[in-house]
Chains A and B, each alone.
Chain A
Amino acid sequence: MAQEQSFEIIPVDELLVKVEGLRRQNFRLVQISATRLAEQLELTYSFDLEHRLTNLRLHVPTGDAKVPSITGVYWAAFLYENELHDLFNLQVKGIAVDFQGTLYKTAVKFPFGSTKAVFS
């Protein structure tokens, strides 16, 4: 049984405005994730209200991937944002609790950050 979920593609500079809007409507932050595409990172911010899943999606270039932190709106986002940095080499500006790249101790730095295969 498929569950209701929507995806809205937005530019990076609209992220905070959209997130603030969702917060005002009492949406709960569900997760933040990234997918490495050929020359872009695809970020997905998921929110839930009464079991309705709403996703904001944005694309940032892999070479200079930067996004603003949403911890000013959803404080609990700090774990997701540190994870995005440590796994994808995404620069998140203004994280409320910044682990400075020490959240994950991986053998390969930024394992999802490049198109090179990590596994041989």
Chain B
Amino acid sequence: MPRTIIPFGPQHPVLPEPVHLDLVVEDEKVVEARPSIGFVHRGLEKLVEKKDFNEFVYIAERICGICSFIHGQTYCQAIEAIMNVTVPRRALYLRTVWGELSRLHSHLLWLGLMADAIGFESLFMHSWRVRERVLNVIESTTGGRVIFGTCKVGGVRRDVTPEALAHMMSEVDRIEHEAREITEVFLNDRTVKQRLCGVGVLSRDTAYELGCVGPTLRASGVAQDMRQLGYAAFGELEFKPVTRTEGDAHARCAVRCEEIFQSADLIRQALAKLPEGDIAVNVAGNPNGEYMARTEQPRGEVVYCVKATGAKNLQRFRVRTPTFANLPALVKLLQGCELADVPVLVLTIDPCISCTER
């Protein structure tokens, strides 16, 4: 059988982000996929040599436009660990709430993209309509919609008024109610299931061996979620990772659907327990030491390696984003799949090339 190479990306209708795949196909079957990234590598890790470690929170937040808050939070956690800073509990709870709101809007964004990819346009629009509600809540409490700018070394910059908290609580209920109607379609609609069930199966062992993270890993039955580490307020909240065992595209979709309700529940728990008190402490001096901070972004575990030598600039700042960890799995998933399934499979790891091209 003659082989043909079909280029996918770096600009493709289903994923307008600069990742390229060379798909080697025999007839309609993909026999090999070779990814190319690095089209817009920004060199943000290099910027630590120019920026004060406090200023660098702004850079970290801009690594990604979707999980921006958790990037800033993870960076702050690394610096705080090096400098032995005790962050006020109220700030930890607010970080938790804003982090889970980020997860909500990220997962709803992904659901819309997946609906669009499988040609279910009305479902795409409904997903993004609900996402707008989440963005409105974020805007009302932080002033920003995707870049919040609220996290800083030692705490957070903004507090939330009791009126805003009450509004947030009622909005979360409404978002959950509307999201439930949408996720019912993703989980049970015949056309969606036909497109996703049994496609791109990743076994538990393979997912673990390939270093997968986030919903990609949990959909294969591995209950691993960095929130189990108990950072921010997660150590004081009821939480159990969402898992599925099927390991296929539908399972990865189902994990994200269920995590929407988990995030809503975590927000409600955090708001109910939100302690009174300060939202930040003063941090004096420069960091001197090394730490690897890990948190759970919507796409999975992110790792921040930070090394400082007592100067105002860090010696090394390195981010391992969840998409980077999931790319090897994508290469494996595409081997042997039908050409028509490639867009769906690419989307099921929820790739964020902005993160990858940090």
Contact = CB atoms under 8 A, between A and B. Distances in A.
Interface of A: 1-3, 5, 7, 28-31, 33, 35-36, 44, 46, 51, 53, 55, 74-76, 78-79, 86, 97, 99, 102-106, 111-112, 117-119
Contacts of B331: 97
Q: Which 3 A-B pairs have the closest CB atoms?
A: A104-B38, A76-B328, A31-B320
Interface of B: 34, 36-39, 41, 43, 45-47, 49-50, 81, 208-211, 226, 228-231, 235, 290-294, 301, 303, 305, 307, 315-316, 318, 320, 324-325, 327-329, 331
A88 B291 CA distance: 21
Contacts of B43: 106, 111, 118
B303 A30 contact: yes
Contacts of A97: 34, 331
Contact of A30 (B38, B211, B316): B211
Contacts, number: 91
Contacts of A111: 43, 46
A65 B133 CA distance: 52
A56 B161 CA distance: 46
Contacts of A35: 307, 315-316, 318
Contacts of A117: 49
A45 B307 CA distance: 15
A102 B36 contact: yes
A62 B316 CA distance: 16
Task: Count chain A CB atoms within 10 A of each CB in B210, B290, B318 and give the residue with the most.
Answer: B318
Given A55-B292, A79-B324, A29 B211 contact: yes
B210 A119 contact: no
A3 B46 contact: no
B81 A2 contact: yes
Given A35-B307, A106-B43, A53 B211 contact: no
28 contacts: A1-B231, A2-B81, A3-B294, A5-B291, A5-B292, A7-B290, A31-B320, A35-B315, A35-B316, A46-B303, A51-B228, A75-B209, A75-B210, A76-B211, A76-B328, A76-B329, A79-B328, A97-B34, A99-B36, A103-B36, A103-B37, A104-B37, A105-B39, A105-B41, A106-B38, A111-B46, A118-B46, A119-B46
